Amino acid sequence: MSDDARGATPRFSRTDSFGIVVAAYLVALVAALWTLAWTDPAHPFWSLWMADLVATLVIFASSMKLDNGSMYDAYWSVAPPFFVAFWIGHAASGASSLRQALVTALVLAWAIRLTWNWARGWPGLQHEDWRYTDLYAQAPMPKWLISLLGIHVFPTIQVFLGGLALAPALAYGCAPVGFLDGVALLVTGGAILLETVADEQMRAFARTKAPGAIMDRGLWAWTRHPNYLGELGFWWGLWLFGVAADASWWWTVIGPLAMTAMFLGASIPMLDKRSVARRPGYAEHMQRVPALWPRRPRA
């Protein structure tokens, strides 16, 4: 059994696994809508956060029932489109419909692509992400608490913070579409394209790689984690849309800053540490290729 699958029990087929995930997420959606119905619409940020948290707790309950934290994996990419719908529903009369259309299209493109990228590579409920199993083994607290705080609530907070800029971009900002929106469109759209190309290059490499081989081709020759660079670019692009709509919402920069801190402080170090242990020569590769910001490949 591989490291990715250790501790998991292959009780379901891949098709059954997807059915279980879809059912759990539909229950989470109903719970979120029920929460919105009972919260005060005069406090939309609080209402959205409570709905988001309740949905997360539903997924956490299913994760505990199935003993598999990877039930949460798709939440990262499926939650933001619902944020978009929520804020458009709260839009002021002066909000730009063009900006709403641009942001909605970009978020949907990002969400569909990222969810599909997860779905086509997910083996099913016999698999649990290796990062989760490492956390279970290393963190000095009960497994259920690690799962709740580290695997479910923490990323939900990250995505919620990253989505704060959707409020001015879609609902409260009334500035006409201008130059900064064009920059935001280039950054966000370019980030989605970068992430897509990086993932496809890695997928092609994985089909033919030798054991222990290091991906150092294409975008991966310029940066060790071009997919992460694209992910960060997406959240920074959304922030630019928010500032373009209303500059007084500059403080929503907390979202992309939190994302950047997470990738630089946790995601990249964890993946690099694993690669050093599994791939001879990766430590030297780290000296030649930057972690995130691209640089011309060195010989």
Span 153-192, pLDDT tens digits: 999 999 999 999 999 999 999 999 999 999 999 999 999 9
Asked if residue 293 is part of any domain, the answer here is no
State mean pLDDT over 186-205.
97
Residue 9 has pLDDT above 80, yes or no: no
Percentage of the chain beyond pLDDT 90 is 88
Whether residue 76 contacts residue 111, with contact meaning beta carbons closer than 8 Å, is answered with no
Work out the angle at residue 97's Cα, subtended by the Cα atoms of residues 95 and 101, and round it to the nearest 5 degrees: 125
Band of residue 266 on the pLDDT scale cut at 50, 70, 90:
very high
Contact call for residues 187 and 243 (beta carbons, < 8 A): no
Interval 59-81 mean pLDDT: 97
| Residue 299 in domain | no
Q: Domains in the chain: how many in total?
A: 1
Q: What pLDDT is attached to residue 36?
A: 97
Domain that holds residue 266: 3-288
Question: Taking a C-beta distance cutoff of 8 angstroms, is the pair 291, 272 a contact?
Answer: yes
Rounded (to 5) percent helix, strand, coil in the chain: 75, 0, 25
Give pLDDT, residue 1.
Answer: 33
Compute the C-alpha angle 268/196/18, nearest 5°.
Answer: 85
223 in a domain, yes or no? Answer: yes
What pTM, to 2 d.p., does this model score?
0.93
Note the pLDDT of residue 34.
Answer: 97
pLDDT at residue 210, as a whole number? 85
Q: Is residue 297 part of a domain?
A: no
How confident is the model at residue 69, as a pLDDT?
A: 95
Mean pLDDT in residue range 276-284: 93
